[in-house]
Amino acid sequence: MGSPTDARMPSVVSAAPAFDAEADAFARRVGLTRLALQDWRTGLGGAVVVWCDGDGLALRGPVAGRTGPVRPTPPAPARPGRDPLLRAVGPWPRVIDATAGWAVDAGTLAAAGRDVVLVERHPVLAALLASAVGRWRGAGVEAAARMRVVCDDARRFLAGAETDVVLIDPMYPEPVGARGRARARKAESVRLLRRLVGDDADQHELLAVARRAARRRVVVKRPRQAPPLAGRDPSGVLAGRTVRYDLYAPEEVPT
C-alpha cells in the first residue's frame, strides 16, 4: 500500500526508557527521527508516529486524539469452510498479498496453511510488519513461519514473480457523510494506515500486473457496493454483508 512520498515519514517515540534501545534501532534501520516522549505529549509528531512499547512497534495518532497504539495482531486460528477469504483464494498453497496493510488477510491465509508473501512498499510499514512477524515466530505462532515480508513496489515485485494466487485489497475510499465519518472514527487502524501511506493511486495498474503473475487467480477485495477495480468485470464474485471478493482469471504474458 501507498508510497513513501504519499505522506511524511513519521518520528519514532518510545513509551518508556526501557524501550529506548528498540526505538533507536528501528529509527536507524528505517532512517527516521526520534521524538522524545515529553515532546509527543506536547503535541509534536504530527498525525502519526511509530510507537515502541512492551508489545513491540505500532502506529499511534497524536496525543490529543486520545487513542492508543495500533499494531498488527497475531493470526487467529483458521476456520476452514467458513471464511469467505479462504473460499475466494481456493485450495492453492502459494499466495502473494500485494497490499499487505495490517496483515490481517495474510495472517488468515497463513493460519489456514498457505505460504504468503506480504508485499508492502512503504518502508516504515514494511519494517513494522517484519518486526511483528519476527515476534510472532519467537512466541511460537505457527502461522508466522509461513509469512514473509518484502519491502517493494508490488508492480515491480509481481513482474518478476510467479505464484498461485495474488490478493489485492486496495485502500478503500475515504468515508463521506455523517455515517461515513462515524465509521471512520471507529476504524482507527484504517485511519492511521491512510495517514502513513496515503491512497493506492495505482491500484488499477496493479490488477493487470497481478493477472500476469498469478497461475490460478487474482482475488480483489472490495466494498460490497463499489465498482469493480479498473472497470474490469470479474469472472466470479463471492459477496458478504459488507465486502465482496472479485475473482479474475490469469492473463497470459505476451511472447
φ and ψ at 125, to 5 degrees? -65, -40
Q: Is the pLDDT of residue 140 over 60?
A: yes
CA distance 130 to 156: 20
Do residues 118 and 88 touch, judged by C-beta distance below 8 A? Answer: no
The predicted-structure confidence for 177-202, as pLDDT tens digits, reads as follows 444 444 544 578 988 998 998 876 67
Where is average pLDDT lowest: 90-104, 145-159, 169-183?
169-183
Q: Across residues 241-255, what is the average pLDDT? A: 85
Where is average pLDDT lowest: 43-52, 68-77, 151-160, 200-209?
200-209
Q: Is the pLDDT of residue 7 over 60?
A: no
Higher pLDDT: 184 or 51? It is 51
pLDDT of residue 253: 61
Q: Across residues 47-61, what is the average pLDDT? A: 96
Q: Is the pLDDT of residue 6 over 60?
A: no
Domains of the chain as residue ranges with CATH = 12-65 (no CATH), 84-248 (3.40.50.150)
Percent of the chain past pLDDT 70, that is, above it, reads 88
For 244, the enclosing helix (H) or strand (E) is strand 243-248
CA distance 118 to 197: 16
The CB density around residue 234, as the number of other CB atoms within 10 Å, is 19
pLDDT of residue 169: 94
The CB density around residue 2, as the number of other CB atoms within 10 Å, is 22
List the end-to-end C-alpha distance of the chain, in Å, as a whole number: 30
Across the chain, what does the average pLDDT equal? 89
Q: Residue 1: pLDDT band by 50, 70, 90 thresholds? A: low
Q: Which three cell numbers stand for residue 206?
A: 496493479
CA distance 177 to 172: 15
Q: Across residues 113-136, what is the average pLDDT? A: 97
Q: Is the pLDDT of residue 26 over 60?
A: yes
Do residues 99 and 200 touch, judged by C-beta distance below 8 A? Answer: yes
Q: Is the pLDDT of residue 134 over 80?
A: yes
